[in-house]
Structure formats: C-alpha cells, structure tokens
Structure 1
Amino acid sequence: MATLDDTDIRLIAALRRDGRASISDLAARLKIARATVRSRIERLMASGEIAGFSVLTKADVTAAPVRGLTLICIEGRGTERVIAQLQGMPAVQAIHSTNGRWDLIIELATDTLQELDDTLVRIRKFDGITSSETNLILSSRRPSTRR
C-alpha cells in the first residue's frame, strides 16, 4: 500500500463528507486542479485505498453501539494535519477543538470494541500526537427543552 500524502488525505476526507461532490467542487474546496483530483481519485481507487462509494443513512451513523471520547494533545502546529487525517476515518463522528491540556476532543463510534481499539492505535500513530486519553460513553441523556 502506498503512503498517502496530505492531498490524498484531504481528498478522502472531502469525499467522506460528500461522496457525491463533483470533481470541480472538490478541486475548488481543496484548491487543486480538476485534473489532479481526477487522477488522484483514479489512483486511490486502483490501489484499493478507495474501495467504493456508498450512502450513509441516519440509522447507519447512530447504530454503532461502541462510542467514545478521545482527548488528544498535539505537538507544535500539526493540528490542521491531524484534523485532516481524522476526517478521513469512518469511526470519527465529530472533531472539537478546545483549550486547556487537550487540543482536540474526538467523538468515535464503532460496531465493536476491537474496531475502537484498532482506530485508537491508528490515531496514536499520527505524527505530532504527544498524548491521548479515551473514555467510553456508557449512556447519553439530552437535557429537556425549556419553553
């Protein structure tokens, strides 16, 4: 498997956000040429890095029973690069920037604990991540709406 560069990671992240985006829209969003987008998508598909395109329904997103919050500390100025890598991961539901000890809080959702563990191992290998802490979400409650 070839190593993905920053442009590949950003392209995959953009396709995860909107798999129906046109080549022109992707090129404008990523500030690269349409020919570059087209050739990279073709290369990523040929290499198997992009295995296909699908539709996610609301049920697909909320069905993952294993959920967690991962707090990440990033060294130096690598936050945008780490965010781009995280956006390309299917388990990542949301990315929050914060202040204090942690730079980012990541909401994760997977089908199994093993998938969550595999995701955490991958995240911890990102360049620039100096420390992390993960907490499983056991239950969630929404506050009642006051009128």
Structure 2
Amino acid sequence: MTDQIAHQLDQIDLSLIAELRRDGRASLSELAQILGIARATVRLRLEKLQDRGVIRGFSVVLSGDGHKAPVRGLVMVGIEGRGADRIVRHLRGIPEVEAVHTTIGRWDLILEVGAQSLATLDEVLAKIRSLEGVTTSETHLLMTSKR
C-alpha cells in the first residue's frame, strides 16, 4: 500500500483490512459485528477499497502451500543502466521468483524466491545472475517464519 493511499484510509478502513488479512472468508455480518458498524457500511467500504485499488483481490491459501517451496530466500539484485523493466519481465518468467520488489538504496531489486531444493535454488540464482544488466546479487536463505 503506497503512502498516498494509506493517508486516505481512516481507522475503519484499516481495521477492515486487518480483519480481512486475519480471515479473508469472514462474512459481511461477522466483519460488521467485529468492527461495530452496520453490515451495509462494511459492504460499501469494501466496494470502495476495491474500486480504488487498495484491495486488488483475494486468494486462497492451501494447506500444502506452506511446503510448496521448502527452500526460500531473499535475493538482492544490483542492476547497471536502465534495463530494470526488461530484467523484471525476465524475472517474472522464472517460476521460482515469487515476488519482485523495487527498492531505494544499495540494491535495485529484492526478490522473494522459493525452490524445491538447494540445487534448484542454485540454478535459479545462476539464471538471475546471467541476465544482461544484473551486476551483483546477494542471497539470504530464510530459515523459519515467525508470526
């Protein structure tokens, strides 16, 4: 969520988003009860958040998804010149690259990657490093996730 959008959200919107993150299947009635507002207000707020692009969609997390990619990591990537758009297009074509984030600072991109094994991760890293315009990278393996 961009800072501009975040400034446009009030406490009800933020609470609604938090509840949907906690339970994306909650009914409008359940959300209304939790938030202490009318069901119609929840529906209207939800529609406005979707129309404005704050909420872009909903997804399903399957029980096996936590084990889909047992080897996970963050890959910081440095790029030379102005090839970032081309590189991002290539990265999106690599199935193990789950997310691409642009950054400000030492690194140009931070990638979330997931692989079935260290050998597969090594192959993915080789693909990333071989892209024209990628000058440097650094990889951090994720050990456990705490919530």
Q: TM-score, normalised by structure 2?
A: 0.56
Size of the aligned set, in residue pairs, is: 87
For residues 84 and 60 of structure 1, the distance between their equivalents in structure 2, rounded to whole angstroms, comes to: 28
Matching residue within 126, 143, 146 for 1:141: 146
The one-letter code matched in structure 2 to 1:132 is S
Task: Give the alignment's Cα RMSD to 1 decimal.
Answer: 1.8
Matching residue within 90, 96, 105 for 1:100: 105
Moved over 2 A (4+): 57-62
The one-letter code matched in structure 1 to 2:84 is T
Percent of pairs with identical residues: 47
Listed as ranges, the gaps of 5+ residues in structure 2 are 1-60
The equivalent residue for 1:112 is 117
Asked if 1:129 is matched to 2:129, the reply is no
Greater relative contact order structure (CA < 8 Å, 6+ sep):
1
- For residues 19-78 of structure 1, give each alpha carbon's deviation from its aligned partner in whole angstroms, at most 9, with x where no partner exists: xxxxxxxxxxxxxxxxxxxxxxxxxxxxxxxxxxxxxx8456542100010000000111
For residues 100 and 65 of structure 2, the distance between their equivalents in structure 1, rounded to whole angstroms, comes to: 15
Listed as ranges, the gaps of 5+ residues in structure 1 are 1-56, 143-147
Q: TM-score, normalised by structure 1?
A: 0.56
Asked if 1:86 is matched to 2:91, the reply is yes
